[in-house]
C-alpha cells in the first residue's frame, strides 16, 4: 500500500475508494495530487480483488480545481507562467503529465466512478470527467470558469461526454451548472438529492463489482477504443497546448497582472462577472 499525501486509498472488498484529501483547500490540485491519483489507480488495477474504483472528495467539495492562488499572485516565473518570450514545449511537458495522470482514470482497466458533492470546478472536472461515470448531487455545481480567460481543459473530455453543442454552451461561457442540468445533457449519469448520492453510487458500484474483471475490462476497452478513434489523443494534445497559450496570451497576462496587483479573488470576480475582459495588447497595463 502506498503512502499518499493528497488522497486516501481505501480497499472495501471489491471496491477501491480514492478520496481526495486536501479539505482545507477544497481538495484543490497541487503539484503532487495528479501523480498520486495515477499511482492509486495503478494500485487498484494491480489488485486482483478490486473490480471498481470510486473517486470522491473529503470535506466540503469534490475538487475546487487547481490551487492557483499562489501561482497567479506570485510575481516571476513558476510552473504555470514563464517570462516572455515563453517556450510552449516547457509548459506542454508539465501540463501533459498532469493530463496523462488524470486520464489514468479513463484508461483504468477497472470501471471508475466520480462521486461529486458541492463543487467540481475547473481542474476538478478534469478528474471527474476522466472517470467512466459521473454521479453528482442535484444541487452540486460543475463547470470550467477558466475558459473565460487563463485556461483550457487539458483532458478535453467535454465534447466526448455531451457532444459539440452542449460542450460549446459550457466552455464558451465558463458557467457552472447544476447536477440536475448535467444529467439533462448527459454529463451526469444520475443527479439525486444530496442525501441519496452515497446510495446511488454504492448501488452502481456493487452492481458492477459482481461482474468478472475480464468482462468489465473487455467492455471498457471496446467502448474506449471508439472514443480513441474519434481523436481523443489529438484533442488532448491540442487542448493541453492551448491551455499553456491561454496563460501567456495578452489576455492571460492581463489576468496574471490583475491577480498580482489586486489578488486572485479580485481577478476571478472580474473574470466571472460577465463584464468584458480586455483583449489584445491593449489589455496589458490596464490594471495599473
CATH number of the domain that residue 83 is part of: 3.90.226.10
pTM reported for the whole predicted model: 0.96
Question: What is the reported pLDDT for 288?
Answer: 58
Based on the number of CB atoms within 10 Å of its own CB, is 11 exposed (0-12), middle (13-18) or buried (19 or more)?
Answer: middle
Is residue 280 assigned to a domain?
no
Is residue 264 assigned to a domain?
no
Is residue 41 assigned to a domain?
yes
Is residue 278 assigned to a domain?
no
Is residue 189 assigned to a domain?
yes
Domain that holds residue 83: 7-248
Question: What is the reported pLDDT for 105?
Answer: 98
Mean pLDDT by 10 residues, the chain (288 residues): 89 98 97 98 98 98 94 88 94 97 98 98 98 98 98 98 98 98 98 98 98 98 98 98 97 94 95 95 72
Based on the number of CB atoms within 10 Å of its own CB, is 61 exposed (0-12), middle (13-18) or buried (19 or more)?
Answer: buried
Is residue 88 assigned to a domain?
yes
Is residue 256 assigned to a domain?
no
How many structural domains does the chain have?
1
Question: What is the reported pLDDT for 274?
Answer: 95
Is residue 254 assigned to a domain?
no
Cell of 24: 482545507
Question: What is the reported pLDDT for 287?
Answer: 67
> If DSSP codes are grouped into helix, strand and coil, which group holds residue 236?
helix
Amino acid at each position: 500500500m502506498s503512502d499518499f499525501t493528497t488522497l486516501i486509498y481505501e480497499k472495501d472488498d471489491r471496491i477501491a475508494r480514492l478520496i481526495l484529501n486536501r479539505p482545507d483547500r477544497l481538495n484543490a490540485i497541487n503539484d503532487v495530487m495528479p501523480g498520486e491519483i495515477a499511482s492509486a489507480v495503478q494500485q487498484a488495477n494491480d489488485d486482483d480483488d478490486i473490480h471498481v474504483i470510486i473517486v470522491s472528495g473529503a470535506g466540503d467539495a469534490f475538487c475546487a480545481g487547481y490551487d492557483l492562488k499562489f501561482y497567479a499572485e506570485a510575481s516571476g516565473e513558476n510552473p504555470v507562467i514563464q517570462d516572455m518570450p515563453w517556450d510552449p514545449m516547457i509548459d506542454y511537458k508539465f501540463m501533459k503529465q498532469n493530463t496523462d495522470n488524470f486520464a489514468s482514470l479513463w484508461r483504468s482497466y477497472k470501471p471508475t466512478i466520480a462521486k461529486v458533492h458541492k463543487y467540481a470546478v475547473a481542474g476538478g472536472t478534469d478528474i471527474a470527467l476522466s472517470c467512466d461515470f459521473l454521479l453528482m448531487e442535484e444541487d452540486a455545481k460543475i463547470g470550467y470558469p477558466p475558459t473565460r480567460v487563463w485556461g483550457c481543459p487539458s483532458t478535453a473530455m467535454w465534447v466526448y461526454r455531451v457532444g459539440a453543442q452542449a460542450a460549446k454552451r459550457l466552455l464558451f461561457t465558463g458557467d457552472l451548472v447544476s447536477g440536475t442540468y448535467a444529467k439533462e445533457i448527459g454529463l451526469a449519469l444520475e443527479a439525486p438529492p444530496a442525501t441519496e448520492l452515497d446510495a446511488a453510487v454504492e448501488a452502481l458500484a456493487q452492481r458492477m463489482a459482481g461482474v468478472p474483471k475480464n468482462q468489465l475490462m473487455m467492455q471498457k476497452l471496446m467502448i474506449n477504443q471508439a472514443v480513441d478513434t474519434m481523436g481523443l489523443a489529438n484533442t488532448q494534445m491540442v487542448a493541453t497546448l492551448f491551455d499553456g497559450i491561454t496563460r501567456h496570451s495578452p489576455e492571460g497576462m492581463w489576468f496574471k497582472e490583475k491577480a498580482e496587483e489586486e489578488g486572485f479573488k479580485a481577478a476571478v470576480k472580474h473574470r466571472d462577472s460577465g463584464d468584458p475582459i480586455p483583449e489584445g495588447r491593449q489589455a496589458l497595463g490596464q490594471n495599473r
